[in-house]
Chain A
Amino acid sequence: MLSFGKLDLKEKALAHLVTPEIEHLVASIPKPVGSFGYDPWGYNEDQFKAALGAAKWLYDKYFRVTAHGLENIPRSGRVLIIGNHSGQLPMDGVLVGVAAATNPDGPRLARAMIERFFPTVPWLGNYLNALGGVIGDPVNCSKMLEMDEAIIVFPEGVRGSGKLYKQRYQLQRFGNGFMHLAMNHKTPIVPVGIVGCEETMPALVNLKPLARLLGLPYLPLVPSLLPLPARVYLNFGKPMQFSACANEAEVTERVEQVKAELRLLIDQGLQERTSIYR
């Protein structure tokens, strides 16, 4: 076989990433999969383990994440984790995912909503699916909540992740979709204020015409193509419950309640932070 040497390397790398600790964590995540280890969206246990191994290193050593309020993520049952989006690349989603998967109060697989163009990218689309990512389609969310999954949503979408450094920690317009999901499926919302990701990739300008030409949602001018090692603070708030309501104005009001809670959690993180990178 041609790829014999490569296979050996791959196994060694895997052994390094998938430590007994990771094995144990993933084994204790309540997540049903089919006979080949896949779920309907393409989540795969083995690929998740390897990625979690790598992401945990980023979480512990590179971004040196401090997380508070992890006990607010329910051990089981449906939940929407709602955060503020920033940092050009979705590192914030990865870090919240690691926090949930390594939660000492009960590890969860928290699924991220990915942009709609990812499935069209070879390898990357399938890979993100294998790690639990799914395109942010309301049908997907409904089905997953009915299956009692945990979902991470950044209601700002690209408005949040693509904003410039001068707009840091200013919440952009929230979509109302997540609130409808929470109400329709009687799902608690756990807000998470994320501090530090803004500084991982500070953007000075957004090269809009070029982005449009390349079919990208945005294209920032950044000092470094790799995320900078900013310290990250995650503050999870108490679960918020919302009952059904009559009209869209009321929905928007409830979304504002979540935004207000998020602002408090973000402030908490900003006050806690003594230095950005050190």
Chain B
Amino acid sequence: MAKTTPSRKTVLITGAAGSLAKRVIARLQGRYDVIAVDFRRKVETDAGIPSYLVELHKRGFEDIFAEHKIDAVIHIGRMFAHERDRLQRYNANVLGTKRLLDLARKYQVGQVIIHSTYMVYGASAYNPALIDEEAPLKASEVTQDLVDSVEVESLANIYLWKHPDLNITILRPCNVLGPGVRNTMSILLARPLVPVLVGFSPMMQFLHVEDMAEAMVLAFEKNQPGIYNVAPDDYVPYQQAVTECGCRKLPIPSIPPLLPRSISTALNWNAFFPPYMISYFKYPVILDGTVFSQTFGWKPKRNLNDIFSYYRKQKLAAKSAR
């Protein structure tokens, strides 16, 4: 085990196998003692970074807290809505987060950063644009597949006001994209053929995974507990994003609403067209990211074209390799 200098903080990062967590670790490494945790696999880490394969809602997780004096937790690890079934996701995400927060209390962790998602607001025809953090979370009204995401939020909110000593910061980013990102949107845009709903092209916001990593590190280092949207002030319709990423569109009939739902169920092989995404392909969820930008002095360094060009080039490379 690496020697810990008393002045150095120890930070536990969940979801360490993911591309966002890797980038956060890379930024913290050297200045903090980092502990990497993931439920998928034991992450290969640089020397001095202990790495654990553990499910948060299982017993082994507590041993990590007993073994290390953890000062802060950055909770990124999440089972995505296209992974496994609803019950398994509920256990991993909701019960896992609950356990994490309880352990954080028990072992007097001074700070917890929770990685949430813009999807908790729910995509609805009546959404105003530039949604504030105070807006109601309507995702579970739209689809049961996102109930766990909303539950994680409400849990974190309860702990946020009940236990101010945990210094909880909840971040709700827009779509995060970039090399290695395995969320639903990134997987979709990496494909050559992408479903779109005929006659619907909602506005969307995209963030490069490097900028999101930067945001998470800032949230950790500046420690201003609260709930924040993380999003740039640039906007593009979904169908244009699809084209910009070099994808061909697969038009799906959009009305009556039953039609896209049944098509999606039929086509959802390998998360090609997840049913819970239908409403997000139809209606916008545009965030107002002003509070985060101003509180933390954050501004994304990469623009939409930088983000999309990665997916474009990836497809060109695949084509020329064939």
- Contact yes or no, B126 A42, CB < 8 A: no
- Contact yes or no, B203 A38, CB < 8 A: yes
In the complex, A40 Cα to B174 Cα: how many Å?
Answer: 13
Is B28 positioned at the interface, with any CB of A under 8 Å from its CB? no
For residue A116, which residue of chain B has the nearest CB?
A: B126
- Chain B at the A interface: SS class: loop
In the complex, A129 Cα to B199 Cα: how many Å?
Answer: 13
Counting contact residues on chain A (CB < 8 A from B), the size range is 20 to 34
B:81-136 near A, CB below 8 Å: 125-126, 128-132, 135
- Contact yes or no, A137 B284, CB < 8 A: no
Is A80 positioned at the interface, with any CB of B under 8 Å from its CB? no
For residue B234, which residue of chain A has the nearest CB?
A: A34
- Contact yes or no, A125 B305, CB < 8 A: no
- The residues of A that contact B235 with a CB separation of less than 8 Å are 34, 36, 38-40, 42
- Contact yes or no, A119 B283, CB < 8 A: yes
Q: How far is the CB of A251 from chain B (nearest CB, A)?
A: 22
For residue A34, which residue of chain B has the nearest CB?
A: B234
Is A135 positioned at the interface, with any CB of B under 8 Å from its CB? yes
Is A212 positioned at the interface, with any CB of B under 8 Å from its CB? no
Is B80 positioned at the interface, with any CB of A under 8 Å from its CB? no
- Contact yes or no, A40 B236, CB < 8 A: no
CB within 8 A of A41: which of B198, B203, B236, B288?
B203
In the complex, A143 Cα to B304 Cα: how many Å?
Answer: 23
Is A225 positioned at the interface, with any CB of B under 8 Å from its CB? no
- The residues of B that contact A121 with a CB separation of less than 8 Å are 199
Contact string against A for B residues 207-237, beta-carbon threshold 8 Å, 1 for contact and 0 otherwise = 0000000000000000000000000011111
- The residues of A that contact B283 with a CB separation of less than 8 Å are 119
- Contact yes or no, A122 B198, CB < 8 A: yes
CB within 8 A of B128: which of A34, A36, A126, A135?
A135
- Chain A at the B interface: SS class: loop
A:126-142 near B, CB below 8 Å: 126, 129, 134-135, 137, 139-140
- The residues of A that contact B197 with a CB separation of less than 8 Å are 122
Is A274 positioned at the interface, with any CB of B under 8 Å from its CB? no
- Contact yes or no, A36 B126, CB < 8 A: no
- Contact yes or no, B129 A134, CB < 8 A: yes
For residue A126, which residue of chain B has the nearest CB?
A: B201
- The residues of B that contact A143 with a CB separation of less than 8 Å are 128-130, 288
- The residues of B that contact A122 with a CB separation of less than 8 Å are 197-200, 254-255
In the complex, A126 Cα to B233 Cα: how many Å?
Answer: 19
- Contact yes or no, B199 A123, CB < 8 A: yes
A:105-160 near B, CB below 8 Å: 116-117, 119-123, 125-126, 129, 134-135, 137, 139-140, 143
- The residues of B that contact A134 with a CB separation of less than 8 Å are 128-129
- The residues of B that contact A126 with a CB separation of less than 8 Å are 199-202, 237
- Contact yes or no, B200 A137, CB < 8 A: no
Is B240 positioned at the interface, with any CB of A under 8 Å from its CB? yes
- The residues of A that contact B305 with a CB separation of less than 8 Å are 35
In the complex, A137 Cα to B304 Cα: how many Å?
Answer: 28
Contact string against A for B residues 276-311, beta-carbon threshold 8 Å, 1 for contact and 0 otherwise = 000000011010100000000000000111000000
Residues of B in contact with A (beta carbons under 8 Å apart): 125-126, 128-132, 135, 197-203, 233-237, 240, 254-255, 283-284, 286, 288, 303-305
- 8 closest Cβ contacts across the A-B interface? A122-B199, A139-B128, A34-B234, A119-B125, A40-B129, A137-B128, A123-B199, A140-B128
- Cross-chain pairs A/B with CB under 8 angstroms, 15 sampled: A34-B235, A34-B236, A35-B303, A36-B234, A38-B237, A40-B129, A41-B129, A42-B129, A42-B202, A42-B284, A126-B200, A126-B202, A134-B128, A135-B126, A139-B132
